[in-house]
Amino acid sequence: MYKIDNHKVSDAARAVSHLDEAGYERLYRQSLEQPDQFWAEQAERFLTWEKPWSKVHQSDLSKGEAAWFIDGKLNVSVNCIDRHLAERGDATAIIWEGDNPEDDAHISYRQLHEKVCRLANVLKARGIKKGDRVCLYMPMIPEAAYAMLACARIGAVHSVVFGGFSPDAVRDRILDSDCQAVITADEGVRGGKAVALKTSVEKALKDCPNVHTVVTVRRTGADIPWNENRDIWYHEATAAVSADCPAEAMDSEDPLFILYTSGSTGKPKGVLHTTGGYLLMASMTHHYVFDYHPGEVYWCTADVGWITGHSYIVYGPLCNGATTLLFEGVPTYPDASRCWQVIDKHQVNIFYTAPTALRALMAKGNEPVKSSSRASLRLLGTVGEPINPEAWEWYFDVVGERRCPIVDTWWQTETGAAMITPLPGSTDLKPGSATRPFFGVEPALYDPEGNELEGATSGNLVIKRSWPSQIRTVYGDHQRLVDTYFSTYKGVYFTGDGARRDEDGYYWITGRVDDVLNVSGHRIGTAEVESALVLHDAVAEAAVVGCPHDIKGQCLYVYVSPMNGVTPSDELVKELKSFVADQVGAFARPEYIQWAPGLPKTRSGKIMRRILRKIACDELDTLGDTSTLADPSVVEELIANRLNQA
């Protein structure tokens, strides 16, 4: 077996951290034993309220209902901007790093205030009011953050759609949440290529009669389609309105945004988050998990089109008065050293990215990393998928030079904020484990019959009590919320993920429950076998699914992307099969290994195993929703070369 070294809390991390080991234990215990008192204290400390709440919390998980800070009033944009003006109005709120390494900008809190107020006034002038939905289809430019905050300022509900999605995907999301306005840009720029955003909006809007306003930011100056009755330029409209906009006092339970899930497991769900509880958890986790200290530069590489971009580029950091870096480009442009160059250029202290990006960068070798200093780095983070221990060690050794703790944060669009995660000054790290629950989060493992499992064991991951940033509904379909998350097990939230808990109470996410395999009575998580495969020098990336087998019940069907320069061969297939058997156990020896030049991934970089499973089982007529695939052509290739054909 691959040897995993555990890492004790480092003295350096403990010295600066907001909490030490005992601090975590004390606060965690309080958060479960006296939840109302705990959350009231946190809500007072982290947020500025216009009117206090009358009741901290009320929930009924059997109906999927939750309410936090009932009757309390606050405005998210005031918390993220106005209240910082007196003390740090001239401090940098947003560092923008363009796709081209020569383009960047610093936006102070005072400038942010003006930008947000102006755009909010534009929306108001176009008749957008509290409760109306606004679709944001934006590149990674500061205006994306302005737009989110402008909506929040007037109580409009934003629905950010990732700028890489097709016109059809935009249309479906606009229609599903009945948006009245769209904010976009003429084009986006990523990896040196233009992305035709406004043209896509135009196509999408053919079927969206209720959209009466499109605000377009001029990013590249390209020629774009224009509709005089509906379209306005961002720069013209914002110049024509006042630079001050009073903020709407919102109820704690008023909707803040809708965000569609990534679509890894099926048709995306319009997750609705509300105001007070969401903002509290976003800001609190940003403070404790990233151990943010005033003046530090913090960089999350996600796109604002995903929940990670919402909570950890915009709302959490800005609520804490932090300096947040917003990156327009991709980690491999102009070359594989880009992230590390950006870290040096802006003296980034905290860096948060996804395993898929790390694996891609790791495949390029250590040289691009070593070409930078990274001396400013203090803390690293990861999110999105289980991180294989080998990638974790690489991140720790090569990127962080064994100096920076890694926070592996497990959470979901539906949870709004990190739920199972190390705290850098309090938690000993184990590569590949998301470690322990955040305050107020009570995880448990259930068997398929709904019995809670005790001690060191594996099972289905559930959350036993409501938390403030919990999903409130699936927009327009509360029954889907109840069916998806609150029906599998009565009275608890079902995450859809499987996990193992070890003897120290640490959680290891093993993958989606639907992806867990049962081979000759052995339950095998996809993450475990994939982690083993990528240890082999010939393997860049691997995806494991199950398909029916007469004797074993299920067998393993493995897709392997070879490393650059590796020639696939039958010998190598044999070798890899033995390798898995050695690493994991003989029962896990793969039945099939198919070479995969590319794997089907969501736009956020997650492997879509449900499609791979269909291909492995030769069930091609029921591939399901593929609209969120990054590159559909990958699927054709895999189908053509599948190994289990009838």
Annotated binding site for Mg(2+): 534, 536, 539
Residue 264 within binding range of ligand ATP, rule CB under 6 A = yes
Site string for ligand ATP, 599-638 (x = CB under 6 A): -----x-x--------------------------------
Interface size with ligand ATP, residues (CB under 6 A): 27
User: Alpha carbon of 146 to those of 129, 152, 238, 472, 558: distances in Å?
Assistant: 17, 10, 12, 25, 44
Distance CA 25, CA 425 (A): 12
Given candidates 408, 515, 530, 591, which one binds ligand ATP under the rule CB under 6 A?
408
Structure tokens at 536: 């082999």
56 vs 474 by CB, closer to ligand ATP: 474
Distance between alpha carbon 358 and the CA centroid of its chain, in Å? 15
Asked if 262 interacts with ligand ATP (CB under 6 A), we say yes
Cβ-contact 389, 432 below 8 angstroms: yes
Task: Quote the CA–CA distance of 239 and 150 in Å, as a whole number.
Answer: 15
Q: In this structure, are residues 228 and 212 in contact, taking their beta carbons and an 8 Å threshold?
A: no
Binding mask 214-243 for ligand ATP (x = CB under 6 A): ------------------------------
Among 247, 434, 596, 616, binds ligand ATP (CB under 6 A): 434
Shortest Å, Cβ 521 to ligand ATP: 25
- 248 is a site residue for ligand ATP (CB under 6 A): no
Name the segment binding ligand ATP (CB under 6 A); options: 55-63, 380-388, 392-400, 637-645. 380-388
- The Cβ of residue 22 has, within 10 Å, a number of other Cβ atoms equal to 9
Question: At 23, which amino acid appears?
Answer: G
CA distance 562 to 536: 10
Compare residues 408 and 528 and give the one whose CB is closer to ligand ATP. Answer: 408
Give 17-26's long-range contacts (Cβ < 8 A, gap of 24+). 17/291, 17/423, 17/424, 17/425, 17/426, 18/287, 18/288, 18/291, 18/425, 19/288, 19/423, 19/425, 19/426, 20/425, 20/426, 21/426, 21/427, 23/425, 23/426, 24/423, 24/426, 24/427, 24/436
State yes or no: residue 275 binds ligand ATP (CB under 6 A): no
Peptide bond preceding 268: is omega within 30 degrees of 0, i.e. cis?
A: no
Written as six digits, the tokens of 230 are 């509906």
Q: Is 455 left (phi over 0), alpha (psi -120 to 50) or beta?
A: left
Residues 459, 447 contacting (CB under 8 angstroms): yes
The answer to whether 386 contacts ligand ATP (rule: CB under 6 A) is yes
**Which member of 385, 393, 530, 541 binds ligand ATP (CB under 6 A)?**
385
Does position 301 interact with ligand ATP (CB under 6 A)? The reply is no
Q: Contact between 427 and ligand ATP (CB under 6 A)?
A: no
Binding mask 561-600 for ligand ATP (x = CB under 6 A): ----------------------------------------
Question: Is the Cβ of residue 72 or residue 437 nearer to ligand ATP in the bound state?
Answer: 437
Output the smallest distance, CB 33 to ligand ATP, in A. 27
Under the binding rule (CB under 6 A), the answer on residue 176 touching ligand ATP is no
**Residues 58-87 interacting with ligand ATP (rule: CB under 6 A):** none
Question: Interface with ligand ATP includes 497 (CB under 6 A)?
Answer: yes
Q: How many CA atoms lie within 13 A of 211 on its CB side?
A: 29
Q: How far is CA 562 from CA 568, 580, 583, in A?
A: 7, 16, 19
List the binding residues for CoA: 190-193, 308, 520
Supply the minimum distance, in Å, between the C-beta of residue 312 and ligand ATP.
Answer: 12
Known binding positions: 190-193, 308, 384-386, 408-413, 497, 512, 520, 523, 534, 536, 539
DSSP for 133-178 reads: EEEEE--SSHHHHHHHHHHHHHTPEEEE--TTS-HHHHHHHHHHTT
Q: Per-residue x/- marks for ligand ATP, 512-541, CB under 6 A?
A: x-----------------------------
CB of 141 vs ligand ATP, minimal distance in Å: 22
The answer to the question of residue 409 lying near ligand ATP (CB under 6 A) is yes
Structure tokens at 2: 């691959």
Which of 64, 155, 309, 384 forms a contact with ligand ATP (CB under 6 A)?
Answer: 384
Annotated binding site for ATP: 384-386, 408-413, 497, 512, 523
Q: How many CB atoms lie within 10 A of CB 182?
A: 28
x-or-dash pattern for ligand ATP, window 334-373, by CB under 6 A? ----------------------------------------
Which CB atom, from 271 or from 319, has the smaller least distance to ligand ATP? 271
How near is the Cβ of 381 to ligand ATP at its closest, in Å?
A: 9
Q: How far is CA 258 from CA 282, 462, 533, 611, in A?
A: 16, 23, 37, 26
User: Quick one: which of 72, 263, 422, 440 contacts ligand ATP (CB under 6 A)?
Assistant: 263
Q: Is 412 in the site for ligand ATP (CB under 6 A)?
A: yes
In terms of CB distance, is 115 or 436 closer to ligand ATP?
436
**Is residue 94 within 8 Å of residue 315, measured between CB atoms?**
no
Q: How many residues does the chain have?
A: 646
Binding segment toward ligand ATP, per CB under 6 A, in 119-127, 152-160, 367-375, 491-499:
491-499
Residues that bind ligand ATP (CB under 6 A): 261-266, 268, 306-307, 383-386, 408-413, 434, 495-497, 509, 512, 604, 606
